Structure 1
Amino acid sequence: MVEAIELAPDYYLSNFRALVDFVVARYERLLSAAELEFYTKFEALELDSQRLYVRLLSRKGVPSSRGALFRLGKLNYAEIDDLAQAAHQLVEGGLLQRDPVLALHEYLPLFSKAELLALSSTPLPQSLKRPAVEQALLQQESESPALQGALTAADTLLAVQAAGHFETFKLCFFGNLNQDLTDYVLRDLGLYRYEKYPLDGENLPFQSRAQIDQHLRYYDCLEQLETALEAGAEEIQALAEQLPDGIDNDATLHRRLDRLRLTLARQLERLEALEAADQLYQCCARPPARERRARIAVKRGDIDTGLVLCREILAAPHNEAERVFAESFGYRTAKKARRLAGWQPPAKYQPPTETVTLPPAPERVELLAAAFLEQASPDVEAGQLAHRCFYVENTLFNGVLGLYVWDILFSPVPGAFFNPFQVAPSDFRTPDFYPQRRAVFEQRLAELDSENLAQRVWRNYREKYGIANPLAAWEALPEPLLALALARIPAEHWRRIFERLLGDIAHHRNGLPDLILFPAAGGYELVEVKGPGDRLQQNQQRWLAYFARHQIPHRVLHVEWQQP
């Protein structure tokens, strides 16, 4: 059980300072003069001013052309002794702007409806909705400009400055602009313990200023995404042209750019701008770009191009899902066009299936099925061992893999780790994860035998227990389960399952069977449970077909409810 930890009132300041200090210590040569000046100005502030600035920087505020807006009179932080003095020092240091000159419509969201009604030069009905109140005030201001002065007189308005510089610091620290200082809070509360890995200069993800700028430009484009998608084809194409080119050896940036291009191209498809969509898909190196191009070609009546693309996929699929698409779509297209030469219908695997009838109960159907399978054990009183059945779903094989390859997961691959608080390398759920470490993974799998597996798993289980690992859910790996699994499952079966997991972790880490049964007579069996009306999902079907190809024992257990 995690012991409760009380955070200091200004814990956020310690976290902020640790972040910016970390970035300056490692990336000072890549930071701009303005970014370093921002850091120097902040360091020179008194504690209360630092606290206030980080508080405001961490809050959303009201967006404006001069920065996020706040009302001084609405701020209340117990750990800041003199808010007005703290704000004054920030204004003097250029990190806040007092009462910025703005258009009236930018000020209005700072005030409540009641306050706006009170400031109106002519009485307005209380029943008016807020948008109508704001519209009335804008009309008044256009006829007799005075309201803006009344608003600024009502309270001191503050606009946060230099927030864009902090974006660069966040990018360098987190590797993205989606995370925040919450990761520190989780660490401070003891909710996460992180593995220690080297963060030396050679392995830092950013090696040039141009690289940082291209990532920042990508995020600028990402902010424009929703607007472009709603605006239409021309705006989508214009946004696509603004995307950075990418940096050699920066797989993270190329993945992000591909993901954004795929989103833009998909919307072009929906808008029937098929040629523009196809051209954008051609700029993408990752799935499902070739799939979408094949669909577009067939939709436009170009059967030859569609089938050629399917054959290209089958010759070198990026992942299993892409291969399955090419087999199915290619065959259906060839059949419809009466060009079946060289095309075969995709094989469909029917797993062994059993149906049982159980009394309805509030427990999960998987747990009821596990209890049923255990009750089918031999007579324990006669001295025979009982069946053991565990609900494992996606936790057992992922967890054992995470323990077996722990050192490889956290090895210092260039660009994998941005900061000390990562549960996984940054490329963990991407197609680049396995190729980046192919040689060491292949060596580890080649040396896998029952003794080697058990030794590594138990050593890491004892030494690393509780440390965050992207594959290991500690609470789902009780020692009795691990002991039986390592003793009963043959090394070859572990190897085959690990190979498939590592080949495409993002897609294959899910869909594994619900239960593992350890019969009294020995061995094991994987059991997928389906309740009334439930059907096998595609990822589950693919796992079951894989088990069949490699003689891994499995079956599907359908549960029906007893009728009263």
Structure 2
Amino acid sequence: MADPVELAPDYYLSNFHSLVDFVVSRYGKLLSQEEQCFYQTFRQLQPDSQRLYVRLLSRKGVPSSIGALFRQHRLTYTEIGDLPAAVDELASAHLLCRDPALPLDEVLPLFTKSELLNHSLEPLPKALKRPALEQALLEQDRATIQQRLMEEPLLAVQAAQCFDTFKLLFFGNLNQDLTDYVLRDLGLFRYETYPLERAQLPFQTRVQIEQHLRYYQCLRDAEEALGADANAINTLATQLPAGIDGDNTLQRRLDRLRLTLARQLERFDALEDAEQLYRQCQRPPARERRARIAVARGDTDIGLSLCREILANPYNEAERTFAENFAHRTAKKTDAAHQWPAPRRHSPITETVALAQSGARVELLAAAHLAQTAPESQCHYVENTLFNGVLGLAIWDIVFAPIPGAFFNPFQVAPSDFRTADFYSQRSDAFARRLSEFESGQLAHWVWRHFHAKQGVANPLVHWEALSEPLIRRALERIPTDHWLAIFHRLLGDITHHRSGLPDLILFPGSGGYELVEVKGPGDRLQQNQQRWLAYFAKHQIPHRVLHVEWQP
């Protein structure tokens, strides 16, 4: 990790420049005339005006129909030498609207409860709750109240929608902000370098940009629709963008929103509408919900047919497990029970030990106990860090390969599709070649190559602080190649769900070999993802057990 540095007072302005310049240099031809004008106007401002605009654009403010609202007298920034002059220039450039003509109900949230009481035209109880206070003021002479409140300048930020486009093109979403730059500048993150040429960037057309922006508008509208009724949800569903062939990121987002809308339709008992929305989704749990809806409506055959469809081509292991369990429970009530036997359950070797409670983590106490059970044994608390980390090191170059659409900007810890099924499919040939190299004995080569070359660089699979060189060396020596490969195959098959649930400890007995140990403290039970890992270990003859810890009296 790089040594932390002290940031300049206006560090945020340099970061803003980097962001908008990056977008213009790579997406200039896809920007609208309004967005290009926004960029040129901003770049021609005096430094103080630029600083103030970025400050206000980055703050939440009070929402209004024409932009986030601020009270000028409340703005104090030591790095801005002449704030009134900056306001004047921003107003002239139409990047701020001074004293906007707004209805009183949009202005009231700018002021404290005490201030509102002082501006009331008639005495009001101090104990009045805020909503009741605002309502009481709205019932008075609105023009007089508004005149009193607006004796000081109010400012509304303009052109924020233009910056939304810049943020979308830079981050790939509207959820991130310039904090990523700050983390870099403070030395908290070192990012991998990867090509960001125009042909490899995720956005290729203006239509694509418009559809992503439309999705985020629908996402904002969803909160109100979800709290209303089925009609509001159905109306919003018709307003979703159609999607674009090849834009898997947009399709994933649309699926996620449709799933949320459909689930709420279920709660409103609008099952037919929910089922229709689920049919438009390509990802889990759409088929699961359709099967549940069918059985709830008495269509058992349709529910079981959907389970067969899932088992014939499961999206992931969790979906397959659902189909097995749900079909078995459903079929028990029909003549088809014999066609759906109960899924087999793995019962891992389990041991119970009594340890003295000391305040330390139960996993660390268990590790110390196991290390003492045999001469020269070592036991490490690794949980999800060891196997994920070794895999991350061994495939580092593949993770950061220049796949079209994978990287939006220079500050990504992972490619944009990392937590999706597309992560493996988009790189399947490279993964197949690398796993073949592991089979021929080159795992250690790739691990050490990246361990030394990438030390401290951010990687979504590598937790550097948990990966000491001696631990990795011993693990590579003791764990057979076929065990590494089995675990890697499962991780890569569904990296989102499978990179958690791995056993807490790895035991290296003095006599050789290794064993994975899942520790459960008093009252703790195995989670489903842990059970699935243990069953997988049994299938591949990977040594494992569960250690239940009880506290000594």
SS in 2 for 1:27: helix
Letter in 2 for 1:518: F
Q: Which residue of 1 aligns with 2:463?
A: 473
Q: Which residue of 1 aligns with 2:159?
A: 162
- C-alpha displacement of 1:2: 5.0
State how far apart, in whole Å, the 2-side matches of 1:354 and 1:131 are: 59
Q: Does 1:260 align with 2:250?
A: no
Gap change, CA 1:522 and 1:176, over 3 Å in 2: same
Deviations 1:324-351 (A, max 9, x none): 1111111111111131243221011101
Q: Which residue of 1 aligns with 2:146?
A: 148
Q: Which residue of 2 aligns with 1:14?
A: 14
CA contact (8 A) 2:291 2:304 kept: yes
- C-alpha displacement of 1:535: 1.1
- C-alpha displacement of 1:85: 0.4
State how far apart, in whole Å, the 2-side matches of 1:121 and 1:512 are: 66
CA contact (8 A) 2:517 2:544 kept: yes
Letter in 1 for 2:359: P
State how far apart, in whole Å, the 2-side matches of 1:422 and 1:49 are: 30
Matches within 5 A, 1:360-439: 360-378=357-375, 386-439=376-429
Letter in 2 for 1:225: A
- C-alpha displacement of 1:449: 3.8
Q: Which residue of 2 aligns with 1:383?
A: none
Match of 2:543 among 520, 528, 553: 553
CA contact (8 A) 2:4 2:188 kept: no
Q: Which residue of 1 aligns with 2:26?
A: 26
TM-score by length of 1: 0.97
Match of 2:350 among 342, 350, 353: 353
State how far apart, in whole Å, the 1-side matches of 2:114 and 2:259 are: 46
Letter in 2 for 1:421: F
State how far apart, in whole Å, the 1-side matches of 2:277 and 2:231 are: 13
Q: Which residue of 2 aligns with 1:339?
A: 336
Q: Which residue of 2 aligns with 1:103?
A: 103
State how far apart, in whole Å, the 1-side matches of 2:211 and 2:382 are: 43
Matches within 5 A, 1:8-407: 8-142=8-142, 145-153=143-151, 155-378=152-375, 386-407=376-397
State how far apart, in whole Å, the 2-side matches of 1:342 and 1:127 are: 67
Match of 2:532 among 521, 538, 542: 542
Deviations 1:289-320 (A, max 9, x none): 01110111011110110111000000000000
State how far apart, in whole Å, the 2-side matches of 1:341 and 1:135 are: 65
State how far apart, in whole Å, the 2-side matches of 1:300 and 1:426 are: 39
Aligned length: 553
Deviations 1:466-512 (A, max 9, x none): 00000000000011111100111111110010000000000000000
Deviations 1:161-214 (A, max 9, x none): 000000000000000000000000000000000000000011100000000000
SS in 2 for 1:433: helix
State how far apart, in whole Å, the 2-side matches of 1:415 and 1:473 are: 25
Q: Which residue of 2 aligns with 1:381?
A: none
State how far apart, in whole Å, the 2-side matches of 1:226 and 1:59 are: 22
Deviations 1:235-271 (A, max 9, x none): 1111111100100100000000000000111111111
- C-alpha displacement of 1:105: 1.1
State how far apart, in whole Å, the 2-side matches of 1:426 and 1:71 are: 39
SS in 2 for 1:558: strand
Q: Which residue of 2 aligns with 1:493?
A: 483
- C-alpha displacement of 1:428: 0.3
Deviations 1:389-429 (A, max 9, x none): 00000000000000000000000111100000000000100
Identity fraction in percent: 68
CA contact (8 A) 2:20 2:166 kept: yes
RMSD, aligned CA: 1.1
State how far apart, in whole Å, the 2-side matches of 1:390 and 1:458 are: 20
CA contact (8 A) 1:360 1:562 kept: yes
- C-alpha displacement of 1:128: 3.1
CA contact (8 A) 1:450 1:491 kept: no
| Unaligned segments of structure 1, at least 5 residues | 379-385
Gap change, CA 1:301 and 1:130, over 3 Å in 2: closer
State how far apart, in whole Å, the 2-side matches of 1:211 and 1:427 are: 17
Letter in 1 for 2:4: A
- C-alpha displacement of 1:359: 1.7
Letter in 1 for 2:519: V
State how far apart, in whole Å, the 2-side matches of 1:134 and 1:250 are: 46
| Unaligned segments of structure 2, at least 5 residues | none
- C-alpha displacement of 1:42: 0.1
SS in 2 for 1:426: coil
- C-alpha displacement of 1:115: 2.1
State how far apart, in whole Å, the 1-side matches of 2:275 and 2:132 are: 45
- C-alpha displacement of 1:352: 1.0
Letter in 2 for 1:227: E
SS in 1 for 2:550: strand
State how far apart, in whole Å, the 2-side matches of 1:124 and 1:328 are: 62
**Structure 1 runs (4+) greater than 4 angstroms displaced:** none
CA contact (8 A) 1:450 1:486 kept: no
Q: Does 1:515 align with 2:505?
A: yes
Question: Which is worse superposed, 449-458 or 316-325?
Answer: 449-458
Question: Which is worse superposed, 386-395 or 357-366?
Answer: 357-366
Letter in 2 for 1:216: L
CA contact (8 A) 1:450 1:490 kept: no
State how far apart, in whole Å, the 1-side matches of 2:64 and 2:285 are: 38
SS in 1 for 2:139: helix
Q: Does 1:463 align with 2:453?
A: yes
State how far apart, in whole Å, the 2-side matches of 1:397 and 1:126 are: 61
State how far apart, in whole Å, the 1-side matches of 2:336 and 2:441 are: 53
CA contact (8 A) 2:287 2:310 kept: yes
Letter in 2 for 1:333: T
Letter in 2 for 1:464: K
Match of 2:518 among 519, 524, 528: 528
- C-alpha displacement of 1:5: 1.1
SS in 1 for 2:150: helix
